[in-house]
Chains A and B, each alone.
Chain A
Amino acid sequence: MLATAAALAALILGTLAAVATFAGGLGGLGPWDWRAVWFTLWQAVASASLSALLAIPVARALARRRFPGRAVLVILLGAPFILPVIVAIMGLISVFGRTGALNGLVRSVGLPEISIYGWQGVILAHVFFNLPLAVRMILQGWQAIPAERFRLAESLDFAPADLARHLERPMLRAVLPGVWLAIFLVCLTSFTVALALGGGPRATTVELAIYQAFRFDFDLGRAATLGLVQVGLCLAALALASRVTLPSAFGAGLDAGHSPAAPRGWRRAGDAMAIGLAAGFLLWPMAAVTLRGLPRMAALSSDVWAAAGRSVAMALGSAGLTLVVALVLALAMTRAGRARGWIEAAGMLPIVASPLVLGTGLYLILRRWAGPDDLALPVTMAINAVMALPFALRILIPAARVMEMDYGRLAASLDLRGWARLRVLVLPRLSGPLGFAGGLAAALAMGDLGVITLFANDNPTLPLKLYQLMNAYRMEDAAACAVLLMAISFALFWGFDRMGRRA
């Protein structure tokens, strides 16, 4: 058990060490690179602030209104977590791109076109992904206010302003810093969005700069130095985060029965608008890409299907790897006394290292033995497994703890050990959380367009194939490919989750 944690730490820290020894001094970075650092920071601040601010009215509306379809909408709000980033970008381009519906409208009234490429596109995409998660997190805060408080407020005849002052604002003060920071962290290592919508001197993130240094300039020293800068940014953000509890975006219990007093009048219309706009913002791009892609699905070329096969195999392997390591670590943590802190730290290490930094490091270590094309799939599988680990651990650790508390002694007294314990006790008791974690890991790996871009040209994964189609301006094929990718991602998640529940 300790060996697993140690191996994981060695993998990550060893990779970072390879990056560090290869890195030149900070002097090797030009003004272009520092611009990337600056852009990374300010776009993350802007994306996090916008997402959190816009989420407040939507969460409040969802907390105090009951309407048919509300439960479905709340579940859909969790979907962006497993939606492949490149698919969402396709959707956003379909709506906000040059030929999209929005610009059609803008042109028809004679206004200048809006471009989705550049910093505004990067931030738009980040808000698209993080607004729903922010809504869910804030909604949890709203529903954590005991119903009795709202009843008391009603009996004291609170106006909405009083309610806000005494109940809602204190809750928001407690919840918002965590929400903001969680989004900030995600946007800090944003790669795919910047790759597809950003670029250029004014919209390049550090992750994208690593990719460019690696791929275009093949300047491994600069890539490594940028990698260190990225690690530094993550560490600084984590130091900040250690003072705040980060809420989880996929927690259960969003369907508490009580609804706080819902004010009538114009606020009703306001809430309807908030929910309608948010739902439209989320669903329109997805609907647009689906409508565009579905008719072309039958005409997809064989290399798209080959890429799909490659991706599914990689995602399954990656999810399997994540589950094994996460299960070993979670079980170890229920027992190990003093070692527990170290094991947990090892499991959370991936947060420090971004995928492209790890990819660069692994390439530096392995390049003597293998070429980029051989490394592409194994490295992608390993890195995706590692990146899904913190999520899997957050799901498995509490469940393993409950199992140990309820049945640990019974199992010990019956001499249930080793494989028998795994088969008779652990797998059946943890099948639900294992299925959920496996589904998340598989969907994340399926949709990931990150480290694979460093290596592969000839044997792309499905997201990379989609990106290549977009770059070749074969937008109809790209849309069909996006529909396929989205369908497989959701199917993987659904399949794992269902397997876990039925076992």
Chain B
Amino acid sequence: MLEFRDVSVSLGEFRLSADFAVRPGARVAVIGPSGSGKSTLLSLVAGFLMPDQGVVAWDGRDLGGVAPGKRPVSILFQDQNLFPHLSVAQNVGLGVRPDLRLSAEQTDRVSQAIERVGLSGMEDRRPSALSGGQQSRVALARVLLRARPVLLLDEPFGALGPALKIEMLNLLSEIARESGATVLMVTHDPEDARFFAPETVVVEGGVAHAPTATGPLLDDPPPGLRAYLG
């Protein structure tokens, strides 16, 4: 279980507080106006940001003091998810061993992951030789290999067209289901939330609210969210 226990953080004028739990295996959309603190919420879990007070915990264990790479977390950013100087196989391989000294068995697992996301034969390409959708697939293959119980998505498919985005969300659903990962996905598109996430966290007015059922929330949004959704 992922818990925000009375967490608050401030960055200059900006302030965000959160006090709720996400049950294991849940898929949760995070929506709210831009600048409301959606990415901040994810950064607290990923370890790029420490709470001023309160505790972020996983399975009852306080994550404070745990380095980002040691947390039970994979994260996909809006962009820069791949190193441009590394090949597809190397970028995926980082999910197995960051120093890329892979055994034969590990190399096989990398190939399988690349195959799983439909990029067989592209192992040696550089990211610049791939389309946006293919780049997302490479990042997903790495997520697959890292197999961390928490997956954070900071609008990683924001730059993709609608059809491609649905495709990625489907692939993501499969991967999340197979691994039983708890997923937090920041999005500015309510349709994404309906499609992918049974539950939604609304971030607004300096507060990240506890997750509620996505459908009813979007059908009858509270005033703050209504203003944002229009």
Contact = CB atoms under 8 A, between A and B. Distances in A.
Contact of B81 (A410, A416, A421, A428): A410
Interface string A400-435: 000000110110111111011101110011000000
Given A409-B48, A417-B69, A428-B83, 17 more contacts: A407-B83, A409-B75, A409-B77, A410-B77, A410-B80, A412-B67, A413-B46, A413-B68, A413-B69, A414-B98, A414-B146, A417-B98, A423-B99, A424-B83, A425-B83, A428-B86, A429-B85
A416 B146 CA distance: 13
Nearest to A425: B83
17 contacts: A407-B80, A409-B46, A409-B48, A409-B68, A409-B75, A409-B77, A412-B67, A412-B69, A413-B74, A413-B75, A414-B146, A417-B69, A423-B99, A424-B83, A424-B90, A428-B83, A429-B85
Interface string B146-190: 100000000000000000000000000000000000000000000
A417 B68 CA distance: 11
Contact of A406 (B46, B70, B80): B80
A416 B94 contact: yes
B1 interface: no
B67 A415 contact: yes
Contacts of A410: 77, 80-81, 83
Interface of B: 46-48, 67-70, 73-75, 77, 80-81, 83, 85-86, 90, 94-95, 98-100, 146
A419 B99 contact: yes
Interface string A423-454: 11100110000000000000000000000000
B100 A414 contact: no
Given A425-B83, A428-B85, A429-B85, A413 B73 contact: yes
A364 to B, nearest CB: 46
Contacts, number: 57
A409 B42 CA distance: 12
A137 B69 CA distance: 44
Given A406-B80, A410-B77, A425-B83, A415 B48 contact: no
Interface of A: 406-407, 409-410, 412-417, 419-421, 423-425, 428-429
Nearest to A428: B85
B99 A420 contact: yes
Nearest to A419: B99
Contact of B99 (A407, A409, A424): A424
Contacts of A406: 80
A78 B86 CA distance: 34
Contacts of A428: 83, 85-86
A414 B99 contact: no
Q: A-B pairs with the 3 shortest C-beta distances?
A: A415-B69, A420-B99, A412-B68
Nearest to A423: B99
Contacts of B99: 419-420, 423-424
A428 B90 CA distance: 13
A420 B69 contact: no
